[in-house]
A and B are shown apart, each in its own frame.
Chain A
Amino acid sequence: MRFERLCVALIAGTAVTMLASPTAAQQAPIAPTVAHTPPSRAPAAQPAHEKSDGERVFEANCSRCHTAPDGFSQGISGTVVLHMRVRASLSARDEQALLRFFNP
């Protein structure tokens, strides 16, 4: 019975998540930078490019623990950065650099 409830909850959660998530068509124009977020761990094969402060902050703090998400809505980029400021103990300067990286 409990397992059934959990399954129902998981399915409902997935459905809510999918409904709440912007579609690909919606997401592409509003989060172009996030969708092109550089890989969390830069492979050696990729050509070197000039990194912004925000990208360095991202690599030095966020991606040390987890991989980057495939993309997210621009509407929550500020919340993501605020959350990372607390979780990764970012300074205010790094927080702003990361925000600019998500919203250039």
Chain B
Amino acid sequence: MRLSLRKLSTSLRLRWTRCLGLAAVGLGFACLCHAQETPLISGGYGLFTNSSKNGTSYLPIAEPLIAAPLGEHILVESRAALVESISPRGGSQGGYDHSFFAGLTYLQGDFLATPHLTVVAGSFLTPFGTYNERLSPAWINNLQDGPLIASLGIMGTGTGLGAQVRGSGLNTPRYNLTYAAYYSTRSGKQQFNADRSFGGQASLYFKPPRVEVGLSYGRLLQGTHENFYGLHVWYEPAGTAFRLRSEFARGHHAQGYWVEADYRTAHFGGLDSWEGRFEPVLRMQQTWRRDTLFRDGLPLVNAQRVDIGLDYNLPHNTRILTSYARQFSATGGSRTWETGIVYRFLTPAWKGRKDQ
């Protein structure tokens, strides 16, 4: 959440009308092209609270996503974020300050060129590590906050503006090799802010043991050219409701890792029982500062943090998130209590032929 706000505040401010206008253009285009499949609207609504020694902040958020196929080989998709931040003024002042952000997270066109190659053009999420592309939506993340190293390798804004190729390079019954490579140009456009950079990712998923190992690389091509390296390992034992995710990232000025384990208590009556809907979460992370010349979003001193959470998966795609975080560093520690409720929606944009 903290990362999302930072990204939004720096680059993704956009007026309501533009968001709606772009969505309307996309939908209209899909209509004109007589898409075979009905476009979908998905995403999540959430209300989060964050309590620390400075008081309690409130963060209502909406993250709508639209995906509209144009024929069998083209998909246009976009995600937006609307966030209201209501936080105490602090000090001797009473009351609350609030700020509102609305912006496009990405807007891209996908062309399915071959069975193993998809060409992406537009504004896309930077493929580095796992958090930015896979875990950042509010309805997916197990904890309200992203990892401390989530800002490493995603080139500032978390989005690139240019082109990307991706797909499954090799897929056998035993493993699946996926890849992504991109080039982004520099853009100062408020809604499509991006740095000139290139990079890529390769990930190997071993199917029987359910282990995924991936490598990421990114290079910033403006200002001081910098390299970013990433490694992630995920493990999900078969026949269990346990997941272990870990990631390491190294940048020019800082590096760090996070390890997260979560377990759905499905052993007690199944996933749909009231006991089986609990989901304890534990995330441990550590960052090391190599120098303090650059603000890359990581703590300015070496830091360790542990998050202990307990989520509850209600019926009808609703989820309650609660967590306690303790952070340690040379400049002092901090404690944070976080709670939230998220509703995930997935619906047709309109009544399609198959629904009639």
Bound complex: CA of A79 vs CA of B134, how far in Å? 18
A75 within 8 A of B: yes
Interface residues of A in 32-84 (CB under 8 A from B): 39, 41-46, 56, 60, 64-67, 69-70, 72-76, 78-80, 82-83
Bound complex: CA of A62 vs CA of B276, how far in Å? 20
Residues of A within 8 A of B40 (CB): 72, 76, 79-80, 83
Interface centre among B112, B116, B139, B168 (most CB of A within 10 A): B168
Contact of B347 among A21, A42, A65 (CB under 8 A): A21
Interface centre among B37, B64, B205 (most CB of A within 10 A): B37
Residues of B within 8 A of A64 (CB): 212, 234, 236, 243
Q: Smallest Cβ distance from B14 to chain A, in angstroms?
A: 14
Bound complex: CA of A73 vs CA of B346, how far in Å? 9
Interface residues of B in 203-261 (CB under 8 A from A): 205, 207, 210, 212, 234, 236, 238-243
Bound complex: CA of A82 vs CA of B70, how far in Å? 11
Bound complex: CA of A59 vs CA of B32, how far in Å? 35
Q: Are B168 and A9 in contact, with the CB atoms below 8 A?
A: no
Known: A17-B347, A78-B37, A89-B178. A30 touches B317 (CB 8 A): no
Q: Are A43 and B120 in contact, with the CB atoms below 8 A?
A: no
Q: Are B45 and A14 in contact, with the CB atoms below 8 A?
A: yes
Q: Are B239 and A30 in contact, with the CB atoms below 8 A?
A: no
B315 within 8 A of A: yes
- Chain B contact-residue range equals 35 or more
Q: Are B347 and A72 in contact, with the CB atoms below 8 A?
A: yes
Bound complex: CA of A44 vs CA of B240, how far in Å? 5
Q: Which residue of chain B has the shortest Cβ distance to A14 in the bound complex?
A: B45
Q: Which residues of A contact B (CB under 8 A)?
A: 2-3, 5-7, 9-10, 13-14, 17, 20-22, 26, 30, 39, 41-46, 56, 60, 64-67, 69-70, 72-76, 78-80, 82-83, 85-94
8 nearest interchain CB pairs? A43-B266, A92-B115, A78-B37, A75-B352, A89-B178, A91-B168, A2-B100, A75-B354
25 A-B contacts, Cβ less than 8 Å apart? A2-B98, A2-B100, A3-B60, A3-B98, A10-B45, A39-B266, A41-B242, A42-B239, A43-B240, A44-B267, A46-B270, A60-B176, A64-B236, A69-B344, A74-B354, A76-B38, A76-B346, A76-B352, A79-B38, A82-B75, A83-B67, A87-B133, A89-B179, A91-B168, A94-B168
